[in-house]
Amino acid sequence: MRRSGVPASTLRYYEERGLIMPTGRRGLRRQYDESVLAQLALISIGRTAGFSLDDIVQVFGPQGELRVDRALLLGKAAELDRTITQLTAVRDGLRHAAACPAPSHGQCPTFRHLLAEVMAGRMPSEDALAAGASSDGSQTAL
């Protein structure tokens, strides 16, 4: 299916997993119904959201119809919120480290706090990083 931009090997794999079905063949090429484009788009959205192919298989019924598990979607949305919060904190920590006026990163309280969070097995949150700096943006000792 050239229009999808999906490699033939991926299409075959999706067929094996039961995610899509060809309608027939023309020579050695598989033929697909137009509805497969929507299924491929949903698979792409699901993969981008972090769903496994096993999760995505559960979304499609035997005839390709959608069977959305709303609780699963809400759970994934909450997981994405946590990931976004963590990645935002890491991004902000990196930006701070790049612009920090401390002579070295080892002397920067915010950067040291970031390291302490990670060493304790926690992904840093925005609040945790803020604990390394005072409300006016100046640095405080930990």
pTM for the model stands at 0.65
Give the single-character DSSP code of 49: T
Q: What is the pLDDT along the chain (142 residues), one digit of tens a residue?
A: 567 788 989 999 999 988 888 888 888 788 888 888 988 998 999 999 999 998 888 877 666 677 888 898 899 999 999 999 888 888 888 888 888 888 888 888 888 887 888 888 877 666 666 666 543 444 433 3
Q: For the chain, what is the domain count?
A: 2
Do 75 and 53 lie in a common domain?
A: no
Q: Is residue 115 part of a domain?
A: yes
- What's the CA gap between 116 and 123, in Å, rounded? 10
| Nearest CA among 6, 62, 51 for reference residue 32 | 6
Tell me, yes or no, whether 26 lies in a domain. yes
Structural domain includes residue 141: no
Which is nearest to 64 in space by CA: 7, 24, 2, 18?
A: 18
Q: Which tokens hold the place of 121?
A: 């097995």
CB contact at 8 A, 58 and 67: yes
pLDDT of residue 132: 60
Structural domain including 103 reads: 70-130
Q: Which residues, at least 6 apart from 102, have a Cβ–Cβ distance to it below 8 Å?
A: 108, 111, 139
In a domain, 93, yes or no: yes
Query: How many contiguous H segments (helices) and E segments (strands) does the chain have?
Result: 6, 2
Please say whether the beta carbons of 4 and 37 come within 8 A. yes
Angle (nearest 5°) at CA 131 between 133 and 125: 120
Instruction: Kindly give the interhelix angle for 70-99 and 109-119, rounded to the nearest 10 degrees.
Output: 140
Report if residue 138 sits inside a domain: no
User: How far apart (Å, rounded) are the C-alpha atoms in residues 96 and 65?
Assistant: 48
CA–CA distance, 26 with 118 (Å, rounded to integer): 56
